[in-house]
Amino acid sequence: MTLTQLPKLRAVDARQIKQRGQPAILLHDPLNLTERCAVLPQRLAPLLMLCDGTRDSGGLRASLMVRHGIRVSTDMIDQILGALDEALLLDNGRFAEALERAVTEFRSAPFRAPVSAGHSYPASADELRTVLQQYVDGVEPFDAAPMAWRGLISPHIDFTRGGPVYARVWKRAEDAVREATVAVIIGTDHSGGAGRVTLTRQHYATPYGTLPTACDIVDGLAAAIGPELAFADELNHRSEHSIELAAVWLHHMRGGKPCELVPILYGSFGRFVAGEADPGGDDAMSGLVEALRVSTGGREVLVVAAADLAHVGPAFGGAPVDMAGRARLQAADDQIIERTCAGDAEGFFEAIKSRGDRYNVCGLPPIYLTLRALAPVSGELVAYDRCPADERGTSLVTICGVALA
């Protein structure tokens, strides 16, 4: 066991559980560097906030007692720190070594494996083809004629709940999907830092085969962002599902025929929503948009925002959604979808910011970036749904399908 003298907790996944009938917190590494996890009694939750790299175990013990009135022995704190360290949840040398090994393995692999295969969708190509084609065959004819679609907004929820919406939007843009030589898929990075753009040169595999990454385009984007920043969180691509689920539909609608891929993950817009910066005037954002346009110039490009909308209710730390809450949620979704279809990236962002992102729109970054990259652009809403997120139906995830021309 290697402990830092001043332990600092990493960004971790946490959820409430019961242990021996008592409330507890289960802590897990979001990068999946280890299968180990740590369990902390809920009454000791303040200890996690105090592990900020400024206190040793004695200081942690004193702060717990003075600030929170919690008495615990130094030995107990050392045991907890040991468990956090074993689970690679502390930002220290042990974690750094494990991260370096994992990044090396990821980059040296022949492709990025489809981690959701066998869980969110069938791992067998034949079974997957049958499942997805059933959704596609169920799509009703469209009233309007096809257009020269240049992009689309597709969910990143599981296919069981989102299948009809996926099928309708990908069917609507079917010709553009088949004709594309490059697909830029911009996905929500659920583990990403504020404003962090994360690239990879790794190819993406699906049960149908491998979609080769357009490394020349990736290199052009990295040059604009700064290579060190662009690949700093590259391992997030390994387990992030947003791009993968869109890539599976891309590959399916192309009949298994590959095209080049540009996988882009975008982290939190928290600092923009908080008013600390303006995405419209952000130099890094503008540089990325311009680099994306320049590097893809002269190719048949399809830009896909792999994006869900609202996440509300107890499953996401909020109050149960009642009928009035559903009406307010619908009004909020209607507003941001209307701004999306108008091609108004700033209006789309402001509609979310004005509410303090109270509905947790996790697709904010990819939709905003897609609208900026395709501007001027307009869209057609082809599908929308409210998906249950708990057994009681008091938590919801809303999704939409928009074709962009």
Burial environment of residue 143 by CB neighbours within 10 A (0 to 12, 13 to 18, 19 or more)? exposed
Cβ–Cβ < 8 Å for 398, 371: no
Q: What is the 3-state secondary structure (H, E, C) of 75-128?
A: HHHHHHHHHHHHCCCECCHHHHHHHHHHHHHHHHCCCECCCCECCCECCCHHHH
pLDDT confidence tier of residue 20, bands split at 50, 70 and 90: confident
Same domain, 187 and 319: yes
Tell me, yes or no, whether 183 and 237 share the same domain.
yes
Same domain? For 137 and 65 the reply is no
Average pLDDT value over all residues in the chain: 95
**Cα–Cα distance, 5 to 340 (Å, whole number):** 50
Give 182's strand partners. Answer: 260, 301
Q: How confident is the model at residue 179 (pLDDT cuts 50, 70, 90)?
A: very high
The residues that bridge with 22 in the sheet, in sequence order, are 19
Spell out a b/e string for 388-401, using b for 16 or more CB atoms within 10 Å of the CB, else e. Answer: ebeeeebbbbbbbb
Q: Letter for the amino acid at 379?
A: G
Average pLDDT over every residue of 384-395: 96
Amino acid identity of 359?
Y
Question: Is 125 in the same domain as 79?
Answer: no
pLDDT at 2: 44
Q: Which tokens in the block code for residue 275?
A: 């008013």
* CATH number reported for the structural domain that contains residue 254 in this entry: 3.40.830.10
Q: Which residues pair with 197 in a beta bridge?
A: 266
Q: How many helices (H) and strands (E) does the chain have?
A: 16, 13
pLDDT-above-70 percentage for the chain? 99
Distance of alpha carbon 390 from alpha carbon 223, whole angstroms: 43
Task: Please state, in angstroms and rounded to a whole number, the distance separating the CA atoms of residues 341 and 67.
Answer: 50
The model's pTM is 0.92
pLDDT of residue 97 exceeding 80, the answer is: yes
- Mean pLDDT across 3-17: 86
Using alpha carbons, select from 376, 372, 403 the residue that is nearest to residue 172.
Answer: 403
Distance CA 307, CA 149 (A): 18
Does 144 reside within a domain? yes
The residue-averaged pLDDT of 193-220 equals 96
Residue scoring higher pLDDT (266 or 4): 266
pLDDT category, 4, cuts 50, 70, 90? Answer: low
Q: Does the structure show a pLDDT above 60 at 362?
A: yes
Judge whether 2 lies within some domain: no
Give the distance, in angstroms, between the CA of residue 80 and the centroid of all CA atoms in the same chain: 30
The verdict on 185 and 47 lying in the same domain is no
Rounded Cα gap, residues 374 and 151, in angstroms: 8
Q: What is the pLDDT of residue 39?
A: 96
Q: Report the DSSP beta bridge partners of residue 9.
A: 90
Q: Is the pLDDT at 306 greater than 50, yes or no?
A: yes
Q: Looking at 79, 103, 127, which one is the last position of a domain?
A: 103
Contact 177, 401 (CB under 8 A): no
3-state secondary structure of 352: helix
Residues 273 and 167 reside in one and the same domain: yes
CA–CA distance, 385 with 165 (Å, rounded to integer): 7
Q: Cis ω on the peptide bond leading into residue 376 (within 30° of 0)?
A: yes
pLDDT at 135 over 70: yes
Are 77 and 200 in a shared domain? Answer: no
Does residue 11 surpass a pLDDT of 60?
Answer: yes
Three-state DSSP class for residue 154 = strand
Question: What is the spatial distance between Cα 384 and Cα 404, in angstroms, rounded to a whole number?
Answer: 15
**Residues 347-354: contacts with CB under 8 Å, at least 24 apart:** 349/269, 349/272, 349/279, 349/280, 352/273, 353/272, 353/273, 353/275
The yes-or-no verdict on residue 329 having pLDDT over 90 is: yes
pLDDT confidence bin for 77, thresholds 50/70/90: very high
97 and 213 co-located in one domain: no
The verdict on 99 and 198 lying in the same domain is: no
- Give the pLDDT score at 104: 97
- Res. 191 pLDDT band, cuts 50 70 90: confident
Burial of 207 (C-beta count, 10 Å sphere; 0-12/13-18/19+)? buried
Task: Write out the residue range of the structural domain in which residue 73 sits.
Answer: 13-103
Torsion of CA 248, 253, 255, 256, to 10 degrees: -20
Given a contact cutoff of 8 angstroms between Cβ atoms, the answer to whether 78 and 5 are in contact is: no
pLDDT computed for residue 1 by the predictor: 40
Of 103, 123, 139, the domain-final residue: 103
The reply to whether 262 and 157 lie within a common domain is: yes
